[in-house]
Structure 1
Amino acid sequence: MLSPVSTDSNHHPLNGTDATEHSVGADLPRAIATLNEEETYRALLTATHWATLDHAYGSAAEAPKRLAELLAQDQTVRTKALDYLHYTLHHQNTLYEATAPAALYVAAILPNPRTTRTVDKGHNSFPGCMRAELLLWIASVADAVTDEADVLSRRHGFPLDDYPPAVSIRRIRPQLYSAAVAYVDDTDRPTAEAAITACIRLLDDPRLLHHRAALVPGIRQILGTSEQWQHRERAIDALDTWGEDSTGLEGQQNPFLFCDSDTPTDNGSRPIDTNEGYSEPPPF
């Protein structure tokens, strides 16, 4: 198994203040080691002043309650909490002030056995593993700050370096990678595929480039042989971009094949509701 990376960051991911002002969050790897304590989960949520941060619909004051529900007993509650991640904290694949601390919390709870519980996946799908869905959410968040995303943003006059939420996500990529890489060999196939997908996105970080070679076998053997063509295409794209051999991997056989709304999107996010494309009214 690939070993997690560590980080010696001394700054909070949102505002650059000294980590001692926030008790948790700046050194996620050490925090993960003690996350079997409910008090630690609460600390991860209370260390952030959520009411001062925004999401798609305004203040994120309700975020601690909604994020805590990711570990709820009831599957319906867990599913709604997961939708909150996608459609409020990362609405339309946009990054908000509250996205980075939410990502740290999501990364931190991944080792909790309760994340192996199921959530609703879609109208025509069986329930899926919460941990896999959380990893796909991390992948979607990381996708918003990749080198490719930066090129597109600059082309439209909006460099990511000028957008604080993007800067915050970029700053915590080593922590997110450390959490995700632990599952690239997971015995649950969807979880392993989701972890590799997240790692691919995160490995654009200059501090993490040296981990690419270790991920290549998993990209070829797991992601490249996935039943989902989106994952296979992602494997081919990653290998080609990294200068690795993608020979033998098969992508989408019919590029014009219609994919219904219950299949994962290209960036690994939750299936999109058919109601105008979103599960909630857009914030405009």
Structure 2
Amino acid sequence: MTDELPEPRRILEETDWAGLQNRDGAAYPVTPAMLRNLTSGDQQAVSAALGHLSRELMEYPNVYSAAVPAARYVTALLALLTPEKTLRAQLLSWLSSLVDAVSDAMALEFFELAGFSPLENPDSTFRKIREIRPQIFAGVAACIDDQDPVVREEAIAAAVVIVEAPELASHRQALTPLVKEVLAVSSKPAYRQRASAALEAWG
């Protein structure tokens, strides 16, 4: 699969949102409208859109099917939001949470709760999110050298989660010095813990 994504507008227009689900049912028309609001410039609308991403596309242990194109849209959007530092940081954090929600550990928790694996169905949302992890990583990695320290930290924190995917393990070595320099000294205890766990696991 290529790492390149279409422009965000095309992702919105070409996705069959009516055939996808969020927590409340059919994703159309709410989810695409919320995604459009991310670039509206209206702070209240942007906040509502961020809330929709976090609360309506993921609900432990579920990840809803609309999260797949939403992740592609958000990833494609990162490159267009250079002046929007706070929003970029928030979107990076959401991508990190989404990828973590389909990790091996979460798949096991899902199995323990539901009695079946979310990976059994080849068309499951868990599998589809996993399939686009290289695309997500490419978008996140482009933010790692950002001039804004908050964006940079969020990008590194997200990258650490994403490279747990076996197909992205080759990127761990390049990330290691950044984890030591940035994440290991973060003001956020969770990020320091993430850095410690990654460095120990990666050797």
Q: CA deviation at 1:175?
A: 0.4
Instruction: Select which of 168, 172, 195 maps to 2:132.
Output: 172
Instruction: Select which of 42, 49, 58 maps to 2:9.
Output: 42
Identity of aligned residues (%): 34
Question: Per residue, is there more helix in 1 or in 2?
Answer: 2
2:38·2:49 contact (CA, 8 Å) conserved in 1? Answer: yes
For 1:30 and 1:104, locate their aligned partners in 2 and report how far apart those are by CA, in whole Å: 7
- Name the counterpart of 2:33: 65
Instruction: Select which of 185, 189, 196 maps to 1:225.
Output: 185
Question: How many equivalent residue pairs?
Answer: 199
For 1:200 and 1:143, locate their aligned partners in 2 and report how far apart those are by CA, in whole Å: 10
Secondary structure of the corresponding residue to residue 186 of structure 1: coil
Secondary structure of the corresponding residue to residue 38 of structure 2: helix
Q: CA deviation at 1:73?
A: 1.4
Distance 1:88 1:151, change over 3 A: closer
For 1:78 and 1:89, locate their aligned partners in 2 and report how far apart those are by CA, in whole Å: 16
Instruction: Select which of 117, 122, 127 maps to 2:84.
Output: 117
Q: CA deviation at 1:42?
A: 2.3
2:12·2:32 contact (CA, 8 Å) conserved in 1? Answer: yes
TM-score, length basis structure 1? 0.66
2:20·2:26 contact (CA, 8 Å) conserved in 1? Answer: yes
CA-to-aligned-CA distance 1:92-139 (integer Å, 9 cap, x gap): 4631111111000000000113x6436xxxxxxxxxx00000000000
CA-to-aligned-CA distance 1:212-242 (integer Å, 9 cap, x gap): 1111111111111111111111111111122
User: Are 1:185 and 2:145 matched, yes or no?
Assistant: yes
The one-letter amino acid of 2:64's match is Y
**Which contiguous aligned blocks of 4+ residues in structure 1 show a shift greater than 6 angstroms?**
none
CA-to-aligned-CA distance 1:151-203 (integer Å, 9 cap, x gap): 43444533231250101101100000000011122221221121112111211
1:50·1:59 contact (CA, 8 Å) conserved in 2? Answer: yes
Q: Which runs of 5+ in 2 are unaligned?
A: none
User: Are 1:98 and 2:66 matched, yes or no?
Assistant: yes
- Name the counterpart of 2:87: 130
1:93·1:141 contact (CA, 8 Å) conserved in 2? Answer: no
For 2:138 and 2:118, locate their aligned partners in 1 and report how far apart those are by CA, in whole Å: 23
User: Are 1:54 and 2:21 matched, yes or no?
Assistant: yes
